[in-house]
């Protein structure tokens, strides 16, 4: 295990080191929440919201036609997966490791012959029975880091544990699918984070931060009325001025989402269901209202805090499970019988799990593998993904071994739920994670006009020999058209529509279009059954 993962402060008895880890984690969140670059947070329904910026005109048709929505629910603090889902074939080891903490056999809610569920998640049993819930067992990653903030960064960036990546997988998704988000603003924000400070999740490779927070309702009216909050008239004519203008344009463009979000919030019917007066339930209530009000946002990120259960776990985890179960039961009920029901998928994640053995708290210390819970009618039946880790074959620290890489879950969501082509998913997640997991949904029904091309198509941009090259590979004979788009929307044809043989092609952009001005451009490749975009910079 690398030194980056051998950090103390992960157990209750670590005392001040454990406390320092939390202070560092909180400090980082505080600092991040006050940056000025590329995003906006504001208050609606009493909760802070941050929004990401994209452009509608460059949106791939398959995403524009699809109504699918992904909701990522972070269980902040490190959820005890073994206190959430219990392996029925390891009950003896379970009770031996947790004589005070574990549930009695007659308390558990049996889901099938393999697993049982916490009795405090009873509201989820109807979702399971109706085929609207799946459980990912043993989710984690190699060389598990046990620091809250570092492991959160790993889950947010989708990096290896020994690699520091300063962008988030949602941010890279936004940049890859919508290359031009500065000068042109969409009607609807494609990703929204509700509650808490800004996250690495919404940070792109080329934008320092996509979202930040403010907590004043008066600012919403001010921003929506003026359109711009930062003047573009007093920009100095120099390289610093160019950078300042870029930041101001990006920030201003995000503020323009306020009208759309407010309109959706006002148009959405008020819920008749009883949500607890806590941050997470109210966040989910707001999301249901925004969806029903017509907002076309693709990804929502929310969190339920309090899972660092080193002590008093019996009471604390019971409370959190009740909140999670009640909220998700209400949320899924909001869409029963509506057109949205098939298009909503929610899934939980947490920075790590807990150790098998209880501590003296009684509670549990930072561990490794945990569970992820998925909810949605599109799951096409209940069930488990992966095998529950052994409770006795643990590492030197007493941690269960993971068996499902969380990034394989992300890859499955990208290719089978959000309908990205495999090479694009691989690029966003920094590597290929193989075949998708059997969640039950796919992209076959999402756009008869723009079917997802078969695996084998790939594209990228490369630089060398004084030129910029657009490279693409087609797996079979097909019609191909390649064009270049300036940030003002001007189209420059590079390859007119023509039938091409299967193979790899490369277009020298400068050589082919000698009058192009320096700057950023978007290239668009259209083939039979799909459309792909990327970005290049001409010097």
Q: Please give the sequence-ordered ranges of beta strands (E in DSSP) within 95-185, or none if there are none.
A: 109-110, 115-117, 133-140
Could you tell me where the beta strands, DSSP code E, fall in 370-502? 370-375, 383-385, 404-405, 458-464, 467-474, 478-486, 491-500
DSSP-derived letter for residue 413 is I
Band (pLDDT 50/70/90 cuts) for residue 241 is confident
Percentage of the chain beyond pLDDT 90 is: 50
| Mean pLDDT value across the chain | 81
78 vs 320: CA distance, rounded Å: 12
pLDDT for 31 beyond 50: no
Per-residue model confidence as pLDDT tens digits over 261-307: 778 888 889 999 999 999 899 889 989 998 998 888 899 999 999 99
Output the pLDDT for position 226. 43
Per-residue confidence at 246, pLDDT binned at 50, 70, 90? low
- Please report the pLDDT score of residue 252 as a whole number: 62
Burial class of 508 by CB neighbour count within 10 A (0 to 12, 13 to 18, 19+): middle
Q: What is the pLDDT of residues 390-420, one digit of tens each?
A: 999 999 999 999 999 999 999 999 999 998 8
> How many Cβ atoms sit within 10 Å of the Cβ of residue 534?
19
Q: Say which residues have a Cβ less than 8 Å from residue 273's Cβ, sequence separation at least 6.
A: 285, 330, 333, 334
| Per-residue confidence (pLDDT) for residue 230, from 0 to 100 | 61
Structure tokens at 210: 């996509």
CA–CA gap between residue 265 and residue 334 (Å, rounded):
15
Angstrom distance (rounded) from CA 435 to CA 411:
9
Tokens 């990703």 identify what position?
191
Question: What are the tens digits of pLDDT across the range 43-76?
Answer: 555 565 555 544 433 444 344 446 899 999 999 9
Cis ω before 286 (30° cut-off from 0)? no
Give CA 380 to chain center in angstroms. 22
Q: Are strands 133-140 and 370-375 parallel, antiparallel or unpaired?
A: antiparallel
Question: Three-class SS of residue 511?
Answer: helix
Provide the token pair at 415. 């290719």
Q: What is the DSSP string of 289-336?
A: HHHHTT----EEEEEEE----SSSHHHHHHHHHHHHHHHHHHHHHHTT
pLDDT at residue 251 in the model: 62
- Residue identified by tokens 């790899």 is 504
Of the candidates 175, 13, 132, 148, which has an alpha carbon nearest to the alpha carbon of residue 74?
148
Mean pLDDT of 354-374: 96
Locate 384 and state its tokens: 């488990």
| Both structure tokens of 145 | 């880091």
Q: Does domain 458-538 have CATH number 3.40.50.2000?
A: no
pLDDT (average), residues 442-451: 49
pLDDT interval class at 186 (50, 70, 90): low
Distance (Å, rounded) from C-alpha 402 to C-alpha 394? 10
Range of weakest confidence among 40-49, 347-356, 426-435? 40-49
- β strands within 350-490, DSSP E: 370-375, 383-385, 404-405, 458-464, 467-474, 478-486
pLDDT for residue 314 is more than 90: yes
- pLDDT of 209 higher than 90: no
Distance CA 1, CA 98 (A): 27
pLDDT in tens, 456-476: 788 998 888 888 999 999 998
Q: Would you place residue 530 in the very low, low, confident or very high pLDDT band (cuts 50, 70, 90)? A: confident
Is the CB of residue 251 less than 8 Å from the CB of residue 40?
Answer: yes
Q: Looking at the chain, how many residues does it have? A: 539
Q: Rounded mean pLDDT of 434-459? A: 69
Report, as an integer, the average pLDDT of 199-223.
54
Measure the CA–CA gap between 509 and 470, rounded to whole angstroms. 7
Structure tokens at 408: 């394989």
Q: How would you list the strands of the sheet with 491-500, edge to edge?
A: 491-500, 478-486, 519-527, 530-538
pLDDT at 487: 60
All CATH 2.60.40.3080 domain ranges in the chain, comma separated: 458-538
The residues facing 191 across adjacent strands are 299
pLDDT tens sequence across 485-501: 876 557 788 988 888 99
Kindly tell me if the per-residue pLDDT of 519 is higher than 60: yes
pLDDT at 376: 98
| Token duo for residue 214 | 């403010």
Average pLDDT of the residues in 187-214: 68
Q: Are strands 133-140 and 299-305 parallel, antiparallel or unpaired?
A: unpaired
What's residue 25's pLDDT? 45
pLDDT at 279: 86
Q: Give me 180's structure tokens.
A: 């031009």
Which of 126-140, 145-159, 318-332 has the weakest average pLDDT?
145-159
The candidate with the shortest Cα–Cα distance to 85, out of 387, 291, 334, 443, is 387
- Which of 68, 52, 37, 41 shows the shortest CA–CA distance to 189? 52
Residue 217 has pLDDT above 50, yes or no: no
pLDDT at 2: 45
């Amino acid at each position: 295990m690398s030194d980056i993962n051998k950090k103390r402060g992960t157990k209750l008895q670590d005392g001040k080191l454990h406390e320092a880890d939390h202070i560092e984690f909180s400090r980082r969140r505080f600092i991040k929440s006050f940056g000025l670059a590329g995003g906006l947070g504001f208050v609606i329904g009493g909760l802070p919201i941050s929004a990401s910026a994209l452009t509608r005109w460059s949106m791939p048709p398959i995403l524009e036609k699809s109504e699918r929505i992904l909701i990522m629910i972070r269980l902040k603090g490190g959820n005890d997966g073994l206190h959430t889902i219990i392996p029925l074939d390891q009950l003896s080891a379970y009770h031996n490791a947790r004589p005070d903490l574990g549930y009695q056999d007659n308390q558990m809610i049996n889901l099938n012959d393999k697993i049982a569920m916490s009795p405090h998640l009873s509201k989820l049993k109807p979702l399971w029975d109706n085929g609207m819930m799946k459980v990912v067992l043993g989710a984690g990653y190699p060389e598990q880091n046990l620091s809250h903030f570092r492991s959160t960064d790993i889950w947010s960036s989708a990096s290896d544990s020994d690699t520091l990546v300063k962008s988030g997988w949602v941010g890279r998704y936004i940049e890859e699918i919508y290359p031009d988000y500065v000068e042109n603003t969409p009607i609807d924000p494609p990703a929204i984070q509700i509650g808490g400070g800004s996250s690495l999740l919404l940070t792109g490779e080329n934008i320092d931060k996509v979202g930040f927070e403010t907590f004043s309702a008066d600012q919403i009216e001010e921003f929506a009325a003026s359109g711009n909050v930062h003047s573009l008239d007093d920009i100095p004519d120099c390289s610093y001025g160019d950078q300042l203008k870029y930041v101001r344009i990006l920030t201003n463009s995000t503020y323009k989402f306020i009208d759309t979000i407010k309109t959706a919030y006002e148009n959405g019917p008020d819920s008749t269901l009883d949500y607890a007066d806590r941050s997470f339930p109210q966040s989910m209530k707001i999301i249901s209202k925004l969806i029903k009000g017509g907002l076309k946002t693709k990804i929502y990120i929310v969190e339920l805090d309090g899972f660092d259960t080193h002590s008093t776990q019996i009471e604390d985890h019971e409370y959190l499970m009740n909140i999670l179960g009640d909220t998700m039961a209400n949320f899924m009920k909001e869409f029963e019988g509506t057109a949205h029901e098939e298009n909503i998928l929610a899934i939980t994640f947490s920075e790590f799990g807990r150790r098998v053995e209880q501590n003296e708290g009684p509670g549990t210390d930072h561990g490794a593998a945990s569970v992820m819970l998925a909810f949605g009618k599109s799951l096409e039946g209940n069930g488990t993904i992966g095998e529950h880790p052994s409770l006795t074959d643990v590492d030197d620290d007493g941690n269960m071994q993971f068996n499902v890489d969380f990034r394989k879950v992300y890859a499955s969501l990208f290719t089978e739920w959000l309908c990205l082509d495999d090479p694009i998913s691989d690029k966003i997640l920094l590597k290929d994670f193989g075949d998708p997991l059997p969640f039950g949904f796919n992209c076959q029904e999402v756009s008869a006009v723009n079917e997802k091309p078969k695996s084998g198509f790939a594209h990228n941009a490369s630089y060398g020999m004084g030129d910029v090259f657009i490279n693409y590979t087609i797996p079979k004979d097909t019609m191909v058209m390649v064009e270049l788009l300036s940030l003002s929307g001007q189209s420059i044809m590079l390859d007119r529509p023509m039938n091409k043989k299967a193979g790899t092609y490369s277009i020298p952009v400068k050589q082919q279009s000698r009058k192009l001005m320096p700057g950023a451009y978007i290239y668009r490749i259209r083939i039979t059954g799909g459309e792909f975009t990327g970005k290049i910079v001409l010097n």
